[in-house]
Structure 1
């Protein structure tokens, strides 16, 4: 569906989450440090983003993963202005 929209000229941005892999709040209830659990959830979100990017690349759709957690070599640092610029440039 994303590819079809892109081919129509629609600028598509997808906001991912990682709850299907990990939920920090649940582990906090079990005694884990809440911040550590939240960080693990953020990493799960990046994992889903990487899977989505790979699927889009295999369908010949250009895609980027941006994250608030700096992961050099894995994804780009999240900066909303960069995301807007990328969309305007058709990336």
Structure 2
């Protein structure tokens, strides 16, 4: 769990994957896949970034090129707090 915490603390880091439109993805990106919204986060059991849904469902790293980027929640939150 230490690695999980360390990954989260890195913030909105690039994850070396792009969405279906060629947009580079980062940790804490909100993405859409098959009409559902997910958050990209580190998965400690699979040792990779995944798109996680609040239901517990998730999309593996190898499929993230099929998602559509919406926004980065970490960056959006920072901007809203500075207003």
Category of TM-score, reference length = shorter chain: under 0.3
**Taking structure 2 as the reference length, what is the TM-score of the superposition?**
0.24
Structure ranking higher in helix proportion: 1
Determine which structure has more spread, i.e. the larger CA radius of gyration. Answer: 1
Structure with the higher fraction of residues in strand conformation: 2
TM-score (norm 1): 0.23
